[in-house]
Amino acid sequence: MHPLVFALATTFLITPTLAAETLVVGVQESGTVQWEIQTIKNLGLDTKHGLDLQIRPLADSRAGQIALQAGAVDVILSDFVWVSIQRSEGNMVTMVPHSLAVGGLMVPADSPIASVADLAGKTIAVSGSPVDKSWIILQAFYNQATSGTLSTDASARFGAPPLVNELLTTGGVDAALNFWQWNARAKVAGMTELLSVADMLETLGVAEQPPLLGWTFSDQIAATKTAAITAFLDASFEAKAVLRTDDTAWDKLTELMGASGDPALFTQLRDDYRAGIVSGYDPADTAAAEATFALLAQYGGAELVGDQTELAPGTFWEGYRK
């Protein structure tokens, strides 16, 4: 064998294959985030970006926060308010935006409620608790529009998203404030969105929609698994771009969406999801999140945001830009 050929062959044989970067991501089993994760897998984007992506199912958002703090997972999906509060308390977590999707106020198609002022004397079903962020924003919007206090002018019934939808569609309440994916189902059932949370925020002075949810991880993971985090975020943004523009990418998600055999629901869920897709990320562009946090602090108080009135520095990770 020619010496040069032998040398090249030897080099090829002894050169080690670079190991994929491992990242453990906790994902809520019933969450719409599954759609992006499945798209990453369907398109092989984890492999493309040199990532060994390991998924751990989570029961709910609280379980994810516990798993992250315990070190059982590297990344979860959480909201920027929780991240800011954690940082202010010394638990140094950070995030990169995942979704702009927000819920809204739904009413029956023939409802006499034509504006937020008409909520006085009515009963509203609210997904979550009295400190649900959308409920706080609706109260702020109502106060600005009427100078009144919604929590005393109207009755609120708090519950899980399916119950909220059931109460609305069966006439058990006059209006409902729910997450976007449940509102999509209500729309298909004939309900109307009177106001989205994005509409409310814009009227309240938050011109751009804040990234309410983001991929969340500790500063330590950001430092020790920088390559893995970066690879995951690259795959995430690539999947988002595909889901935003390619209808065929959705064909394999129908069952996961709970829309098998229901084309109207499938289309509504797909289109509403697309409306919340994040197309880029600049860690210095935090004005919308800062303004929203200030509103939540003003109207939600310590029960929602603790002693903080401002977004904590470092809430959005400065180690990535898209």
- What are the residue boundaries of the structural domains of the chain, listed by start? 12-99+210-305, 104-203
So what's the pLDDT on residue 165?
Answer: 96
Provide mean pLDDT across the span 239-258.
97
So what's the pLDDT on residue 186?
Answer: 97
Q: Is the per-residue pLDDT at 9 higher than 90?
A: no
Q: Please name the CATH architecture into which domain 12-99+210-305 falls.
A: 3-Layer(aba) Sandwich (3.40)
Provide mean pLDDT across the span 117-139.
96
DSSP calls for 67-86: HHHHTS-SBEEEEHHHHHHH
- Which tops the pLDDT comparison, 20 or 161? 161
pTM for this entry: 0.90
- 264, burial (CB in 10 Å: exposed 0-12, middle 13-18, buried 19+): exposed
Q: Is the per-residue pLDDT at 102 higher than 60?
A: yes
CA pseudo-torsion sign 150, 309, 215, 239: positive
* Three-state DSSP class for residue 1: coil
> pLDDT digits over 283-296, tens only?
999 999 999 999 99
With CA atoms as reference, report the closest residue to 46 among 27, 72, 20. Answer: 20
Q: How many CB atoms lie within 10 A of CB 13?
A: 7
* CA-to-CA separations, 12 to 3, 9, 18, 20, 47, in angstroms, rounded: 14, 5, 13, 19, 22
| Contact call for residues 97 and 211 (beta carbons, < 8 A) | yes
Name the CA dihedral angle for 106, 110, 115, 117, rounded to a multiple of 10 degrees. -100
CATH class assigned to 104-203:
alpha beta
The residue count of the chain comes to: 322
Question: What's the rounded Cα separation, in Å, for the pair 178 and 156?
Answer: 13
104-203 and 12-99+210-305 share a CATH fold: yes
| Contact call for residues 56 and 26 (beta carbons, < 8 A) | yes
